[in-house]
């Protein structure tokens, strides 16, 4: 018998399973801001004192595994990308060194027109070299439960 949602929640939610470090480069920030067609000079003019990463920039730091080793086979198949939600908590600037802590933030089921779906929320909490939390990126994996 497979693992239930409740069992998976109890075993895996909150479990941190990976960390990674990133040195923030000015060119990367400009590339990202340009790619999302940002016009605000804070994000596209590196000569300004308040130049900083676009609030969604940390979503591009994606070297993390989505699920930890040993994670149960919930649902049917590998699932689809359920999108990302980025919460910006403090400015990220060139030269910053960010450390991302990866964990399973939530596991839940919901029913809809297309049946029952399981949502697995993978979260990365980013902190800078001063230990300040600067961003949270939630990625949802959707699996059909049938």
Partner 1 sequence: MILDLHTHSIRSDDGRAKVENYCQWIRKKEIPLDGFVLTEHRQFDDDSDYRGLEDRYQLLILKASEVETDYGHVLVFGVNDDLRQEFDFARIDNPIGEVLEAAKRCGAVAAPCHPGRPNVGLFAHYERKPEVEGIELIEVFNGGSRPGEDDWSVREADARGWAGFGGSDSHIVSRIGFCATEFDDDIRDMDGLLTALRSKRFVPRTFR
User: Which residues would be at the binding site for partner 1 (CB under 8 A)?
Assistant: 108-116, 119
87 vs 99 by CB, closer to partner 1: 87
44 vs 59 by CB, closer to partner 1: 59
Show the 3-state SS of 58-125: HHHCCCCCCCCCCCCCCCEEEEEEEEEEEEECCCCCCCCEEEEEEEEEEEEEEEECCEEEEEEEEEEE
Which is nearest to 61 in space by CA: 30, 90, 99, 27? 99
Angle at alpha carbon of residue 37, lines to 54 and 129, rounded to 5°? 15
33 vs 143 by CB, closer to partner 1: 143
76 vs 129 by CB, closer to partner 1: 76
**The two three-digit tokens of residue 115, written as one number:** 């049946």
**Secondary structure (3-state) at 127:** strand
- The least distance separating partner 1 from the CB of residue 93, rounded to whole angstroms, comes to 28
- The least distance separating partner 1 from the CB of residue 119, rounded to whole angstroms, comes to 7
7 vs 45 by CB, closer to partner 1: 7
- The least distance separating partner 1 from the CB of residue 57, rounded to whole angstroms, comes to 21
Angle at alpha carbon of residue 113, lines to 107 and 115, rounded to 5°? 50
- The least distance separating partner 1 from the CB of residue 111, rounded to whole angstroms, comes to 5
- The least distance separating partner 1 from the CB of residue 145, rounded to whole angstroms, comes to 9
């Amino acid at each position: 018998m497979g693992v239930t949602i409740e069992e998976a929640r109890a075993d895996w939610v909150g479990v941190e399973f990976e960390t990674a470090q990133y040195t923030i480069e000015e060119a990367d920030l400009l590339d990202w801001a340009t790619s999302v067609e940002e016009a605000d000079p804070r994000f596209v003019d590196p000569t300004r004192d308040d130049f900083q990463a676009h609030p969604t920039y940390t979503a591009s730091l994606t070297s993390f595994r989505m699920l930890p080793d040993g994670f149960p086979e919930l649902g049917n198949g590998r699932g689809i990308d359920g999108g990302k939600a980025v919460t910006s908590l403090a400015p990220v600037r060139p030269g910053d060194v960010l450390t991302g802590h990866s964990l399973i933030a939530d596991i839940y089921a919901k029913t809809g027109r297309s049946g029952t779906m399981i949502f697995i929320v993978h979260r990365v909490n980013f902190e800078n070299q001063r230990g300040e939390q600067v961003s949270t990126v939630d990625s949802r994996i959707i699996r059909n439960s049938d």
